[in-house]
Amino acid sequence: MRRPTARNVSFLAVAAAVVSIGAAVPPTHAPPASTPPVKTPVAVGQGGAVASVDADASAAGIEVLRRGGNAVDAAVATAAALGVTEPYSAGIGGGGFFVYYDARSRTVHTIDGRETAPRSADASLFLENGRPIPFEEGMTSGRGVGTPGTPATWETALDAWGSRPLRQLLRPAQHLAEHGFTVDATFRSQTEANRARFADFPATAELFLPGGELPVVGTVFKNPDLARTYREIGREGVGPLYHGPIAEDIVRTVRKPPVRDGATRVVRPGDLTLRDLRAYETVRRAPTKVSYRGLDVYGMGPVSSGGTSVGEALNMLERTDLSKASQAQYLHRFIEASRIAFADRGRWVGDPAFEDVPARGLLSQRFADSRACLIKDDAVLSSPLAPGDPADPVDCGSTGAAAPTTYEGENTTHLTTADKWGNVVAYTLTIESTGGSGITVPGRGFLLNNELTDFSFAPADPAVHDPNLPGPGKRPRSSMAPTIVLDHGRPVLALGSPGGATIITTVLQTLTGHLDRGLPLVEAIAAPRASQRNQTTTELEPGLWNSPLRAELEAIGHGFRQNPEIGAATGIQRLADGRWLAAAEKVRRGGGSAMVVRPSR
């Protein structure tokens, strides 16, 4: 399943909606123009930058920067707009991870805004009669819905580092929801892929299948319920979503999913309560950090496995001069390092509030060296590979049984922002599957997540501890990997990607493609991808599948399967002359949108 790409609404209409940021002028309510905003995968200039999958969302962030807001303000405005134009990817019904570089202190901070399980949840959350329920039935249910973390993330970030109130930053998104954006072929196809399950929920069908029909390409799609919800949050803050009327609507919807009469789908209720929502808190976690080629690479710590897995793989790869390797040698090393990092994350990474996660050990060079010795230039490791023990590293050793990679929905989005003061944000947010749970909160205009399906439904091996089983108030493991790279305390680049478990390999390949192979950031993002996640075969995009490189790698034992599209990254780079370069996808998911405040000629 794939996330819808950027849609088209007038840049001027978005700009009008945010004119009040920094000024007491009400927004103009102009209708969408027929000419879409310019969508480009790379932009260079000054004053700040925004890169996202969507031109409307990037435009919202740029206007915030243009009117004096900072990178955090722009990230919130961009994310809120994505909740309108990318409703199957993100929104206030989901969660995510926010990584922030503070230029004044030259420090990196992170916010864990991951969804949490109900307090009543235990390891049997997805079991019935001792057996896991079908994944599809967990995916489309109240049982898969966790307490949303996105609104609390916005509040936490703005309270700590923002310069504009939430009500102002929501106005561009509110305007988009009220006046609409233009439907494209991808939005229609994503709706079509979900047509059967959307049709089983009256509120979802009314919004996304008006009159029982798919939205028509070129027409304007409006979401007045979401506009009202944003207006309420702007007026009263995020409180109503956690202990007010919106919270009550969420709990009612989860506990008794509103299914249409005559539907035959099995839709299990969830056990989310108002107490669960009232108790929700974001967590300010210490970032992960490794040194790579003299640079400091910061990422998101557990419960995300992104920072530890990317960091461990970089530590393994640093012993090889990838700049001098052939393309086949480079890909071989990249694939094997990814395989090992996934073997270790499967055994050791879970919610640190419940699990003893050895993050420091996983990121130690000693542990990486003990694992890197498994990589041979003329042979391929077998998967599933058993993990190593970071507390007792043994050269080429392993411990226990292999843990398979759990499924993670690919329908996520990533945005990157920077401002004129040098602050930077890398922010990945999601509602999990395409369309999340498929359940829209009636009268509120947003889909609920199905993030709890990121938990293991049951342990793969009852004899081996699984750190990712459900628990009361527990956060499911994630692969989201928002990343910021510094050189002597100053930003070099920031990036991230959607793509479920492929996020880790996408970020790793983009980093090494740029830092080691010398690709310009936009070309490192565009390069054809491979993704190995401790599985018997490695996924390849068509650009590698149809390349002679595949035969070279198969000759030493690699096995492959084709994936038409892996990830959809965005990033920002600080150039030597002080300008910002924003970069996004050229083609994947319809291409991304890179913008700067004052473009260079």
Asked if residue 271 and residue 346 are part of one domain, the reply reads no
**Does 554 fall in a domain?**
yes
Residue 239 identity (one-letter amino acid): G
Alpha carbon distances (Å) from 579 to 64, 102, 216, 285, 417: 18, 17, 40, 30, 13
Q: What is the DSSP letter of 501?
A: T
> Of 96, 166, 2, which is closest to residue 425 (Cα–Cα)?
96
Asked if residue 250 and residue 293 are part of one domain, the reply reads no
Q: Give the distance, in angstroms, between the CA of residue 12 and the centroid of all CA atoms in the same chain.
A: 28
Asked if residue 362 and residue 321 are part of one domain, the reply reads yes
pLDDT in tens, 183-234: 888 889 899 999 999 999 999 999 999 999 999 998 999 999 999 999 999 9
The answer to whether residue 110 is catalytic is: no
Asked if residue 498 and residue 360 are part of one domain, the reply reads yes
Distance CA 48, CA 67 (A): 11
In sequence order, the 6+-apart residues with CB closer than 8 A to the CB of 300 are: 97, 99, 110, 112, 285, 287, 288, 306, 307, 480, 481, 482
**Does 386 fall in a domain?**
yes
Residues comprising the chain, all counted: 601
Asked if residue 235 and residue 87 are part of one domain, the reply reads yes
Asked if residue 222 and residue 294 are part of one domain, the reply reads no
The beta strand positions in 183-230, using DSSP E, are 220-221
Q: What is the pLDDT of residue 15?
A: 43
In sequence order, the 6+-apart residues with CB closer than 8 A to the CB of 601 are: none
Contact, 336 vs 526, CB < 8 A? Answer: no
For 104, the 3-state DSSP assignment is coil
Alpha carbon distances (Å) from 28 to 17, 31, 105, 281: 6, 9, 38, 35
Distance CA 443, CA 426 (A): 32
Asked if residue 322 and residue 273 are part of one domain, the reply reads no
pTM as predicted = 0.93
**Does 1 fall in a domain?**
no
Label residue 314 exposed, middle or buried (CB < 10 Å: 0-12, 13-18, 19+).
buried
Q: Which two tokens stand for residue 390?
A: 């970071």
Q: Catalytic residue among 150, 308, 412, 502, which?
A: 412
Asked if residue 359 and residue 221 are part of one domain, the reply reads no
**Does 416 fall in a domain?**
no
**Does 560 fall in a domain?**
yes
**Does 463 fall in a domain?**
no
Task: Please name every residue paired with 424 in a beta bridge, in sequence order, or none if there are none.
Answer: 101, 418
CATH number for 349: 3.60.20.40
> Of 601, 589, 433, which is closest to residue 497 (Cα–Cα)?
589
Number of domains in the chain: 2
**Does 422 fall in a domain?**
no
Asked if residue 240 and residue 201 are part of one domain, the reply reads yes
Q: Extract the residue ranges of the chain whose pLDDT is less than 50.
A: 1-34
Range of the domain at 379: 284-408+478-599
Kindly report the backbone phi and psi dihedral angles of residue 173, in degrees, each rounded to the nearest multiple of 5, phi listed first: -65, -40
Kindly report the backbone phi and psi dihedral angles of residue 538, in degrees, each rounded to the nearest multiple of 5, phi listed first: -100, 135
Asked if residue 487 and residue 377 are part of one domain, the reply reads yes
Q: What is the pLDDT of residue 402?
A: 78
For 259, the 3-state DSSP assignment is coil
Largest Cα separation within the chain, whole Å, is: 67
Number of helices and strands (H, E) in the chain? 22, 20
Asked if residue 246 and residue 383 are part of one domain, the reply reads no
Q: What is the pLDDT of residue 408?
A: 72
pLDDT in tens, 38-62: 789 999 999 999 999 999 999 999 9
Residue 209 identity (one-letter amino acid): L
Q: What is the pLDDT of residue 185?
A: 82
Query: What is the SS3 assignment for 153-187?
Result: HHHHHHHHHCCCCHHHHCHHHHHHHHHCEECCHHH
**Does 447 fall in a domain?**
yes
Distance CA 572, CA 583 (A): 6
Asked if residue 274 and residue 313 are part of one domain, the reply reads no
Distance CA 310, CA 393 (A): 19
